[in-house]
Structure 1
């Protein structure tokens, strides 16, 4: 932080928003707004939503550590895709997971070493390599899914059905917005 920014930070509340860099803001609780240094306004609920969303994302990033420390989130997602779709080409798995081919190759190597996935050559074209989930992979996926359901159940415990429906509607809207940004 530069010396001038330090003085500004003492007068204004200091916060960092994802993708927006550093913002100095002054909160006016009577008007329910937050002013940036440059004079434009952000509504207080929007700022609070961004901060809450960031906190939830941080909590969710540690989510896989709660379910099973042996597997990364990508490994769990790959198993879920393979379980749902059966044998799938590596390129299709990369597209589904939004990962590069090199990342999926590394991911598949780890899953094969754990005996959770097998590589198979396509019957139509020997150049095409497919992945399929093994019985062990399905078994560990069931265990992880049970733990996930327990954790999510604890996180959402006590919320009325009306709040859960609104929560689902809001997250569907956020997901739709996120897809347009990609």
Structure 2
């Protein structure tokens, strides 16, 4: 395959374009990493160790992100009632509203970006991306 460089360049362009558009949606309120953590907490992941595993980063990296989110009133930390050694993370009311708004905007952006594909192309693209991700 002689077109590896072309594939690499295209993947980078698409990734960077998506990242910049998401950054624009976030409007400098937080980083993409902080938003991913908020989204995971919103979906029910409430422990730092679980967040680190899901995002494939160190626990100390998650601690730094959650410190920032606490400082900006997006999450709170609470001792688990089941196991007092564990700290659970919860979204504030402000964060719940913020995450819902951002997710709605991200969905609209993705729908718009993928409108260049036919339904069949979108399905094939999804299959190919999953194959690549699972490899």
TM-score by length of 1: 0.67
SS in 2 for 1:56: helix
CA distance in 2 between counterparts of 1:138 and 1:130 reads 16
1:57 — aligned with what? 15
1:171 CA displacement: 0.8
Query: Please, which of 110, 126, 131 is the counterpart of residue 168 of structure 1?
Result: 126
CA distance in 2 between counterparts of 1:118 and 1:111 reads 8
Which runs of 5 or more residues in structure 2 are unaligned?
Answer: none
CA distance in 2 between counterparts of 1:59 and 1:137 reads 25
Q: Are 1:112 and 2:70 an aligned pair?
A: yes
1:158 CA displacement: 3.5
TM-score by length of 2: 0.88
Relative to its length, the structure with more helix (as a share) is 2
- When Rg is computed on C-alpha atoms for both structures, the one with the higher figure is 1
CA distance in 1 between counterparts of 2:118 and 2:134 reads 24
Aligned pairs for 1:17-32 (under 5 A) are: none
CA distance in 2 between counterparts of 1:43 and 1:124 reads 57
Relative to its length, the structure with more strand (as a share) is 1
CA distance in 1 between counterparts of 2:96 and 2:11 reads 32
Contact 1:120/1:130 (<8 A) preserved: yes
SS in 2 for 1:95: helix
Which runs of 5 or more residues in structure 1 are unaligned?
Answer: 1-41, 178-182
How many pairs align? 134
> More relative contact order in 1 or in 2 (CA 8 Å, sep 6+)?
2
CA distance in 2 between counterparts of 1:124 and 1:97 reads 25
